[in-house]
Structure formats: structure tokens, C-alpha cells
Structure 1
Amino acid sequence: MTLALVCMSHSPLLEVTTPPEEIQKDVDAAFAVARKFVEDFDPELVVSFAPDHYNGFFYELMPPFCVGYEAVGVGDYGSEEGPLNVPTAVAKDLAQAIIDADLDTAISLKMEIDHGAVQPLEVLFGSIAAKPVIPIFINSVAPPFASMRRVRQLGTAVGNYLKTLDKRVLLIGSGGLSHDPPVPQIATATPEQKATLLNGRHPTAAARNERQQRVIETAAAFAKGKANIMDLNPEWDRQLLDILASGELEKLDTWTAAEMAASAGNSAHEVRTWVAAYNALRAAGEYTVTSEYYRPIPEFIAGFGVTTAVVK
């Protein structure tokens, strides 16, 4: 058993906008470091912690956690469509190990995943089917949320199972740091929005395009300082990155959903995927962060980070 980790921000705007050249080069360089790290590690299995943005999971039934026995990309924002290479037998054993650790998780025999889970696989491997992948959904968009302590415990349970395997396993945590994109909130949604949040699966091309265009236009306005969304919070992002690098992950147990949203935006809850991934890594032993990139990027509506880590 050997575990390694890549955590990275994602943004739907990576696929559909062209930021200033200097920013694009900066992000590409960070991705290149992560790709080289993964190439050298040569994983035999990938376990991906990722959110969803009302493309595969809806308020009709919104679990805090879900393990995919099979999975398919929905192709939003130009991301890759189609099936992932999920080792179903291993995914079943992993789900049972999580439940045996007294953590309730849902399971899906056909998980639908969006850019939040797909982008890291595209960036690191070039394709969503290049490696055996077990996707683990962590609700990071739709209140109420599992506590950070519970997310940490989920990561530990996953890591405890993975360290029993005779495999090189790459952990991925995919989520923005501080960011507040124009995602409807159930408490303030219009009747039409509520219907979509309840079950907006498989929208028409026109409906998907309208939704995506709203985000693209907001990003353009945000980059000019004219959008009515919360600013990025580099100080909050740095605090999180420092705690993750320190290995003192229990410090995050006191972070509440309300405080996180107020400080870093409604979609800052996606850092739960990083917390789970780092705790899974720590289950195998003390770790070292081998690379860290961070930059607040208004063009992507994201505090944008990429980190890699290995067990010492």
C-alpha cells in the first residue's frame, strides 16, 4: 500500500473562457507540476472526493456522502461525457468499510458526475476512463451539510480501508477554496429554480446553455469588479492551506457551515473534499506537502489552489 494526494480547485470556466495569458500560464504550470507528480507515482487506483452542482444530486434525495459503484460524466461545461472505469467490487468493499466505521453513506449503482469530479481526471490523466476510479460524492452545495468533523471521519475511514490494499492509490480532493458563484440557494430560490434544485436531471441543451451562460457572464463581470457576489478571501484560503499542510486536521472540526459561507462564500463548502482527502492520507501515516500553488483568480470565480502530498 502507498497513498499519495492531489487536491485542486476546479472551475467550469476552465473549459469555456480564456483568461489573461499570464493567469493561464500560471495555472497551466501548477497543473504540470501535479501531472508530473502523478506520473511519477503511477497510481493503480484513484479515489476521488468531489462535489456536485445540481447535475447528478438533487434535493429530491440529497445524501451527505455517496460512493459510486458505477459512474458516468454528464458533460457539463464541455467536460468529458461517458462512463468512468470504476472497479465495482473494490467500491463495494470500500462502502462497507465506511459503514462498518459507523459512518452512514449512500451508494449509487450509476452515479452521475459533473465537472467538479471530471476536471481533475482530465487534467491529470487526459481522460475520465484512463485509470480505475472510485468516485465519492460529498455534498458541498445543498444545505444542510455534514459537519467538518464528520467529513474528517469519512476521510479517515476511507484511508483505513485503502491502506489494506496492495496498491498505489491516488487520493483526489476536488473543490474551490473561497468562491461564491451564482448557484441558486434553496432558501431564496424562485419556484422555477426550486423545481430545478429538486430534480433538474438531464436538462435540455437550451436550459443547460442558459445556466452556463449566467455563470460565464458573472465571471466576466466579477473580473471587472462589477458582479453582485462575494469577494474571494485569500486570507481564509491561506489559513485552510496552512492547517492542511500542518497535519493538525482536528483544528477544522470547529469550522461551521454558517461561518464558512459568511467568510468565504456559499461554495466554499467544497473544501470538504480536501479535508476528506487529507484525512484519508493521514490514515496511512504522517504526510508531507510536496507542492502548493495558490492564487485568487476572479476570472474563474475562485480562490484557486493545487497541492500534492505523500506519506513520509
Structure 2
Amino acid sequence: MSHSPLLNLPGPPAELLDDIDAQLGQVRTFVREFDPELVVIFAPDHYNGFFYKLMPPFCIGAAASGVGDYGSHRGALQVPADIANECAAAVLDAGVDVAISASMEVDHGTVQPLETLFGDATARPVIPIFINSVATPLGPLARARALGAAVGKYLDSLEQRVLVIGSGGLSHDPPVPTLATAPPTALERIVHGAPMSAEARQARQSAVIAAAHDFAHGDSPLRPLNPDFDHAFLELLDTNRLTETDGWTNSWIAAEAGNSAHEIRTWVAAFGALSAAGAYQTLQRYYRPAPELIAGFAIRTAVSA
């Protein structure tokens, strides 16, 4: 499922929010009927928990807390450290290099889906797995699939009902600072993790709202959404052709769908995990290009065939 801080902010039209919420209602029913004993979520970060002073491509959290950005959950999540550490060991044994955190900080990319699906981010035991999708240089997309496959193989050995979530937008290119373009204050944040004051957080929220308004009204330098890219990606997922994404280069993804389209890595990892148990079938299929959210917004539910 996609995420967006703008779902928690004023600005998006009621019709769009109602449409998305109706779809998310179906996902909540799907999750409630499955009744997971464990949740594993692959998610990016937006310079809230991971910074250029040390930026791993992947990291598994054995303990984690939400930072509370954009009104999302602030505080500890319910992370089973023993399972998280076993999972990390299994991933390393499978030949995928992954970092481990005993004090991970996660933002809305991780917390929003948990709150959306369960009402409370702490309702179920959860293992957060960070996938760098913003801070260049990025590794090959194929490595995200390999990470997912290794995690999925481990999860398949557990005698538990496990819900795997991939949290990320499809085509989108929001105003995210980079090493090359960030002003000094932003550079301190994305490199060293300088804390944001309440005033700075409010200013960022206002800037995001303004950027979305301009983008939705065709008055923005941001790269347009690309529904063709999004549909092509979703078609590969729906037809069990995930391996075809191995050939997608980072430069091509950014050129076609925007710099933040690299968040599809979370989807690739999630479906890679599901694929470890064999073929799967997607059930609920939803997609909407949502300029008011600066994102191609999509939802898929899937089960092992």
C-alpha cells in the first residue's frame, strides 16, 4: 500500500480521501479476517530515522520507535527482538547484507500503514525493515527482491500467520532535499540528523501542503506522475512476474517516474517475501493517480496460491 503525509493534513479533496478510505476499509477487513500473529513491514524513511552519517541499504529493527511526524504514532512499537534477530541472521546466511538496529526510529512510512490497518501502531507485534529509497547512491532493485526472498524464506519457517506489508508510493517526485541541493539547515538534518523544532516541523508541513496544492493545479516544477509506469509495475506483480523488475535500472526508474518512485523497492521486497512460499494471487486491486497527494497511490492484497 502507498502512504502519504498528506492523508493526515488538510488540503486533499473529500472525494479523494473518501475513495481511498473505502478501499482501505476493504484492506482492514482482509487483515481482520486473516488475524495476523506477526506483522513484517518493509518501509522507506524520509530523513527522520536514517541519515547520511550512516545510511545502510537495508536495516532490520529489533526495537523501534515512531518519531511522530505528520501526526503519526510517537513512541515504542511492539517489536519481538528474538524473532527480529533470528530473521536478520537468516537474511545474512542467505547472502544478503543487512544492518541491525536495537534502537530504530521510524516515520510515517512505517507507522501510517500500521495505524491505518489496526487503528493502533502497537496493536500487533511488528518487525520493521528499512529499505533506503531516497538517499543516493542506491543499490540495484534486484537486491530488494533478494532481501524480500530471504525474509520470506525465514517467515515460511515460522508457525505463525504473518502479514507482510510493503509501504511506498509508486510514481512520485516530491520536494525531498538531496546532498547536492540542500541548503545548510537541511544539510545538517539529512546528514547529521539535527533535530527539528516544533516550528520547523510546522513549516515543513505547510511547505508540503503548498507543494501539493501547486502540483495538483499544474503550477509546479515537480515531475508529473506516470500512470503508465505504475500500471506496468502493478501488472508484473499481478501476474507473478516480479523477476522482470531485476532489469530496471535506478536511472530509468527516476527518469520515468520520479526520484521517490524508488519506494517501489518496498513493494518488490514484500512480494519477494510472498514469492518465497511459491506462487501467489493478488485479490484487491486499486490504483489512482493522486496529484493532491503527489503520488501514484496503489493498494494490493495478496495471498499464497
Q: CA deviation at 1:201?
A: 4.5
TM-score when normalising by structure 2: 0.98
Aligned to 2:166: 173
| Distance in structure 2 (CA, Å) of the matches to 1:192 and 1:21 | 35
Aligned to 1:259: 252
Aligned to 1:200: 193
Per the alignment, in what secondary structure is the counterpart of residue 40 of structure 2? Answer: strand
| Distance in structure 2 (CA, Å) of the matches to 1:209 and 1:38 | 33
**Is the 8 Å Cα contact of residues 40 and 129 (structure 2) preserved in structure 1?**
yes
**Is the 8 Å Cα contact of residues 171 and 296 (structure 2) preserved in structure 1?**
yes
1:12 counterpart = 2:5: yes
* CA-to-aligned-CA distance 1:38-65 (integer Å, 9 cap, x gap): 0110000000000000000000000000
Q: Which amino acid aligns with 1:174?
A: S
| Distance in structure 2 (CA, Å) of the matches to 1:19 and 1:189 | 27
Aligned to 1:146: 139
Given the alignment, which residue of 275, 281, 296 partners 1:282?
275
**Is the 8 Å Cα contact of residues 178 and 234 (structure 1) preserved in structure 2?**
yes
| Distance in structure 2 (CA, Å) of the matches to 1:251 and 1:44 | 32
| Distance in structure 1 (CA, Å) of the matches to 2:11 and 2:185 | 31
Q: Which amino acid aligns with 2:64?
A: A
**Is the 8 Å Cα contact of residues 17 and 216 (structure 1) preserved in structure 2?**
yes
| Distance in structure 2 (CA, Å) of the matches to 1:220 and 1:109 | 39
**Is the 8 Å Cα contact of residues 156 and 279 (structure 1) preserved in structure 2?**
yes
Per the alignment, in what secondary structure is the counterpart of residue 267 of structure 1? Answer: helix
| Distance in structure 2 (CA, Å) of the matches to 1:276 and 1:269 | 12
**Is the 8 Å Cα contact of residues 55 and 201 (structure 1) preserved in structure 2?**
no
Given the alignment, which residue of 90, 93, 97 partners 1:97?
90
**Is the 8 Å Cα contact of residues 39 and 162 (structure 2) preserved in structure 1?**
yes
Aligned to 2:33: 40
Q: Which amino acid aligns with 2:43?
A: A
Range 65-74 or range 24-33, more displaced? 24-33
Q: Which amino acid aligns with 1:72?
A: S
TM-score when normalising by structure 1: 0.96
Q: Which amino acid aligns with 2:241?
A: E
Aligned to 1:301: 294
Matches within 5 A, 1:20-35: 20-35=13-28
| Distance in structure 1 (CA, Å) of the matches to 2:39 and 2:194 | 26
**Is the 8 Å Cα contact of residues 65 and 136 (structure 1) preserved in structure 2?**
yes
Range 127-136 or range 15-24, more displaced? 15-24
Aligned to 1:242: 235
**How many matched pairs?**
305
| Distance in structure 2 (CA, Å) of the matches to 1:226 and 1:84 | 39
Q: Which segments of 5 or more consecutive residues in structure 1 lack a partner in the other structure?
A: 1-7
Q: Which segments of 5 or more consecutive residues in structure 2 lack a partner in the other structure?
A: none
Q: CA deviation at 1:193?
A: 2.3
Per the alignment, in what secondary structure is the counterpart of residue 173 of structure 2? Answer: coil
Matches within 5 A, 1:37-76: 37-76=30-69
Aligned to 2:79: 86
Per the alignment, in what secondary structure is the counterpart of residue 46 of structure 1? Answer: strand
**Is the 8 Å Cα contact of residues 37 and 124 (structure 2) preserved in structure 1?**
yes
| Distance in structure 2 (CA, Å) of the matches to 1:154 and 1:221 | 37
* CA-to-aligned-CA distance 1:246-286 (integer Å, 9 cap, x gap): 11111001111111111111100001000000010010111
| Distance in structure 2 (CA, Å) of the matches to 1:83 and 1:203 | 19
Per the alignment, in what secondary structure is the counterpart of residue 67 of structure 1? Answer: strand
| Distance in structure 1 (CA, Å) of the matches to 2:116 and 2:241 | 29
RMSD: 0.9
Per the alignment, in what secondary structure is the counterpart of residue 231 of structure 1? Answer: coil
